[in-house]
């Protein structure tokens, strides 16, 4: 059987890793993007129902991974209508079209569906998002699971990996604090995070898709996160050690950041459901951040 993946958000940080992984494993990948088009990607506006239906009908996938989203909480807060269109409206349309074609969808969600007050969060814990981004991603989850019992949700934490610009990840952007050594920098030492390398998530998506096509019952909600816990300040110190950069200009801010979108405190996810399936992969933060950022160090 030919393995055909329809991948939304294929130009993004995670989408690029997923497309590469599946292509290397012999899958035919139809990657969609809106603005960052390349020879291996197709321009599809996910808010254009007719365009999505046409591309699905002509490609005839046997698996769909929905990575596309407005994933920056501050941008969601700044333009909630645009974010809702993509994170909820486009998701509903995609899963409904997929259901008509009897194709399973893996929806990429977020640890931000939780309030961060009582980790680790299990797959059956009741979500309680503290910002609009978490709320919209939760509604996308609900649309995905309500539309078809074939579908699955993968909740993941903050991601990092090879970036096209440092600001593409909330992790890699921290390098700017280190590189700007002429100015005192204050970095949050409050929220706890478990960053994951995009290659790890791509591997997990591949394993979930492969098991699905082999007849395994991969449906419902799954969690994955990195095995190391850091604050942003601790990530900066780790980067400083990896690249042997001075960091005396960096100080820790102990209180929650002011004037930004509210973030949950500790979104550690319980990964036992994937562990039981022997699905998972963890790249150490030191190794992952070195491979991701070595090209940015002069």
* Inter-residue contact 166 to 256 (CB < 8 Å): no
C-alpha span between 93 and 53 (Å, rounded): 9
User: 271: closest CA among 156, 171, 178?
Assistant: 156
| Fold classified for 4-157+198-225+269-282 | Rossmann fold (3.40.50)
Indicate yes or no: pTM above 0.95. Answer: yes
For the chain, give every domain's residue range: 4-157+198-225+269-282
* Inter-residue contact 7 to 43 (CB < 8 Å): no
Where does the chain have alpha helices with state H? 13-24, 49-59, 73-78, 80-84, 91-100, 132-147, 175-179, 198-213, 232-243, 272-276, 285-293
Q: What is the pLDDT along the chain (298 residues), one digit of tens a residue?
A: 899 999 999 999 999 999 999 999 999 999 999 988 788 899 999 999 999 999 999 999 999 999 999 999 999 999 999 999 999 999 999 999 999 999 999 999 999 999 999 999 999 999 999 999 999 999 999 999 999 999 999 999 999 999 999 999 999 999 999 999 999 999 999 999 999 999 999 999 999 999 999 999 999 999 999 999 999 999 999 999 999 999 999 999 988 887 778 999 999 999 999 999 999 999 999 999 999 999 999 8
C-alpha span between 74 and 83 (Å, rounded): 11
Beta strands 4-8; 159-160: pairing state: unpaired
Residue 145, CB half-sphere, CA atoms under 13 Å: how many? 16
CA dihedral 112, 115, 118, 123 (to 10 degrees): -50
């Amino acid at each position: 059987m030919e393995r055909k993946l329809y991948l939304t958000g294929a130009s993004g940080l995670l989408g690029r890793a997923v497309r590469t992984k599946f292509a290397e494993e012999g899958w035919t990948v139809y990657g969609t993007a809106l603005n960052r088009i390349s020879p291996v990607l197709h321009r599809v506006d996910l808010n254009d129902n007719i365009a999505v239906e046409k591309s699905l009908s002509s490609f005839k996938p046997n698996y769909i991974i929905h990575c596309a989203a407005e994933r920056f909480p501050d941008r969601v807060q700044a333009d909630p209508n645009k974010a809702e269109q993509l994170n909820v409206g486009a998701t509903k349309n995609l899963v409904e079209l997929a259901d008509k074609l009897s194709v399973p969808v893996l929806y990429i969600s977020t640890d931000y569906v939780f309030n961060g007050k009582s980790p680790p969060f299990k797959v059956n814990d009741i979500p309680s998002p503290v910002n609009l981004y978490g709320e919209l991603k939760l509604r996308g989850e609900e649309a995905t699971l309500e539309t078809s019992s074939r579908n699955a949700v993968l909740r993941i934490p903050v991601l990092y990996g090879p970036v096209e610009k440092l600001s593409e990840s909330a992790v890699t952007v921290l390098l700017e604090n280190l590189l700007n050594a002429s100015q005192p920098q204050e970095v949050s030492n409050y929220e706890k995070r478990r960053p994951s390398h995009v290659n790890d998530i791509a591997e997990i998506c591949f394993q979930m898709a492969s098991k699905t096509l082999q007849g395994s019952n991969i449906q419902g909600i799954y969690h994955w996160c990195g095995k190391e816990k850091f604050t942003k300040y601790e990530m900066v110190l780790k980067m400083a050690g990896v690249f042997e950069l001075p960091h005396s200009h960096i100080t820790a801010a102990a209180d929650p950041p002011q004037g930004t979108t509210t973030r949950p405190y500790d979104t550690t996810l319980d990964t036992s459901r994937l562990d039981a399936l022997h699905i998972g992969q963890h790249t150490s933060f030191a190794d992952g951040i070195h491979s991701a950022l070595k090209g940015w160090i002069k």
